[in-house]
Amino acid sequence: MYSLYSLLVLIVAVVASPWFIYQALRHKKYVGSFGQRMGYLPVSFNMDGDESIWIHAVSVGEVLTARPLISDLKRRYPNLRMFLSTTTMAGQQLARRSVQDVDAVFYFPFDLGFVVRRTLDLVRPKLFIMMETEIWPNLLRECRARGIKTAVVNGRLSARSFPRYRMIRPMMRRVLDHIDRFLVQSEESARRFIDLGADPARVVVTGSLKFDSLELSSTALAGAPAARSVRGGVEARARDRVLRYFRVPASRPVIVAGSTMKGEEIAVLRAFRKVRTAAPNTLLVLAARNPERFGEAEQLARQEGWKVARRSDLAIDAEPRVDVVVLDTIGELATIYQIATVVFVGGSLVATGGHNVLEPAVFGKPIVFGPHMENFLEIAEAFVSNGAGVQLAGEEELDETFLLLMSDPVRRARLGAAARALVEANRGANEKSVTVLSQLLPQEPRAYPANVRPFRPLA
């Protein structure tokens, strides 16, 4: 089975190589990371061959989710090095810039036997953690052979992906047998993992880490415990630096359209035109999900006749004197939600599964999203049922919903308060996850030099 899988990986790599070459030439992707993806890490990476915990987070969302988990694991296991890998360039950039408790960041290796063996020789993990649903058969098989503990954390199987996994259930059963713990977001995901062959005794429902990974606003920090406030103070300073480019007066309405996908920007821009007829001073912040589409989003806005600026071109400590700002930076969207009057969360008007609605919720913002929230189904349903978000049937409802919310501050406040309350009520998954992982990897007593004597007070 594994030989057939490896052959399939090679075939896919050959077939997809023209696309990778195009991405390398057009967007400068993969050029500098190919060596690491082949298992060749820098000489200084782990020079002393120390044992470690290896966490894999695919892209930006998983990196943000993993940050509090990494911090807590680092405090619990100070003698182990902490390594973080990503698949995407955007995730790599964010990890290097914003994750403070890791010893090194690198690109995830291709899932071929000789490549993963080379990587494991250098990383030397005692525990390998996969964020959400990153399941790589050859790597997991090699971890089992070496006695390395493995865990899926914040695991989920969406209604869209589950049928595809069921088609290869015999293979999945063998692969899942190599995973020691499944820490999943919901009862539904737990049932799906078990149906694919996971041992029920290894599956634990811990809730969604996304609730715990959210940065708190200054208001939330007011009543926070001391340890949480210290971390929050650092994050607040980082937010303040970003917001210095968005000195928007309180009287100016702001629509933030976050994580938009191809086909959504034009719907948002046309709804924005109707909003401007009622509120001529409204600002739109447009944040395409994929960095390679920043230019396309800017072009669409200009074609619609708006005065446009990129975030990277804004003046510091000044109000943006434009109609539309295209957010062309990575990792700042969650902060920009703080200035929003109304938030639209993209990936939901087109069939791509939706994106994270929790980031604007922590700031108590009224949230609008479309019908396609398959990847966040439980969270979307909770928001709708608790009056914490507005779900559209289609893009034709977008302009009327914007207009209604922009003109009704009471409803905005009600939606925002319910969203924030929902977030606070669902925190705690990080603590549960660390507890389960510590059972999987018990702490070892610290070793002290043999010549150190116990302290004795002088007579």
Give pLDDT tens digits for 88-103: 988 999 999 889 899 9
Rounded to 5 degrees, what are φ and ψ at 125?
A: -75, 145
Q: Cα-flanking dihedrals φ and ψ of residue 45, to 5°?
A: -60, -55
- List CB contacts of 368: < 8 A, sequence separation 6 or more: 342, 343, 344, 345, 389, 390, 391, 392, 398, 401, 402, 405
Per-residue pLDDT band for 451 (boundaries 50, 70, 90) equals very low
Going through 76-118 in order, the beta strands assigned E by DSSP cover: 81-86, 104-107
Helices (H), 135-286: 137-146, 162-167, 169-176, 187-196, 218-221, 226-243, 265-278
**What is the structure's pLDDT at 448?**
44
* Spatial separation of the C-alpha atoms in residues 403 and 400, rounded to whole Å: 5
Q: How far is CA 79 from CA 47, 127, 325, in A?
A: 15, 13, 46
Average pLDDT, the chain: 89
> What is the token pair recorded at 309?
């600026």
Q: What are 214's two structure tokens?
A: 């959210």
Cross-strand partners of 73: none
CB 17 within 8 A of CB 30: no
Which pLDDT band holds residue 236 (cuts at 50, 70, 90)? Answer: low
Helices 2-27 and 137-146, packing angle to 10 deg: 120
Asked if 29 contacts 135 with a C-beta cutoff of 8 angstroms, the reply is: no
Q: Are 125 and 153 in contact (CB under 8 A)?
A: no
> Does residue 283 contact residue 253 with C-beta atoms inside 8 Å?
yes
- Which residue in the list 51, 62, 187, 188 is annotated as catalytic? 62
Average pLDDT estimate for 336-361 = 95
**Which pLDDT tens digit goes with each residue over 390-446?**
999 999 999 999 999 999 999 999 999 999 999 999 999 999 999 999 999 987 655
Joined tokens for residue 133:
């649903």
The pLDDT, as a whole number, for residue 222 is 34
427: Cα separation from own chain's centroid: 16
Copy the structure tokens of residue 225. Answer: 């415990």
Decide if 62 is catalytic: yes
Query: CA 258 to CA 290: how far, in whole Å?
Result: 11
Closest CA to 369 of 337, 401, 334: 401
Residue of 209, 222, 216, 254 whose CA lies nearest to 236 = 216
Strands 125-131 and 203-205: unpaired
Tokens 């914007």 found at: 402
Percent of the chain exceeding pLDDT 90 equals 76
The size of the chain, in residues, is 459
- pLDDT(82) > 80: yes
Q: In this model, does residue 187 exceed pLDDT 60?
A: yes
User: d(Cα 39, Cα 17) in Å, to the nearest integer?
Assistant: 19
pLDDT above 70 (res 62): yes
User: Side-chain half-sphere of 333: how many Cα atoms within 13 Å?
Assistant: 33
Query: Does an H or E element contain 126, and which?
Result: strand 125-131
Instruction: Compare 405 and 452 and report the one with higher pLDDT.
Output: 405
Look at residue 32 in the predicted model and tell me its pLDDT. 74
Provide the angle, in degrees to the nearest 10, between the axes of the packed helices 294-303 and 265-278: 40
Q: What is the DSSP string of 50-69?
A: --EEEEE--SHHHHHHHHHH
Q: At what angle do helices 398-406 and 409-425 cross, to 10 degrees?
A: 100
Please list, in sequence order, all residues whose beta carbon lies within 8 angstroms of the beta carbon of residue 345, skipping any fewer than 6 positions away.
258, 259, 354, 355, 356, 357, 360, 367, 368, 369
Can you tell me which residue has the tokens 């493995």?
150
Query: Which pTM was predicted?
Result: 0.78
Q: If you average pLDDT over residues 287-308, what whole number do you get?
A: 96
* Cβ atoms of residues 213 and 64 within 8 Å: yes
Rounded to an integer, the average pLDDT of 212-226 is: 49
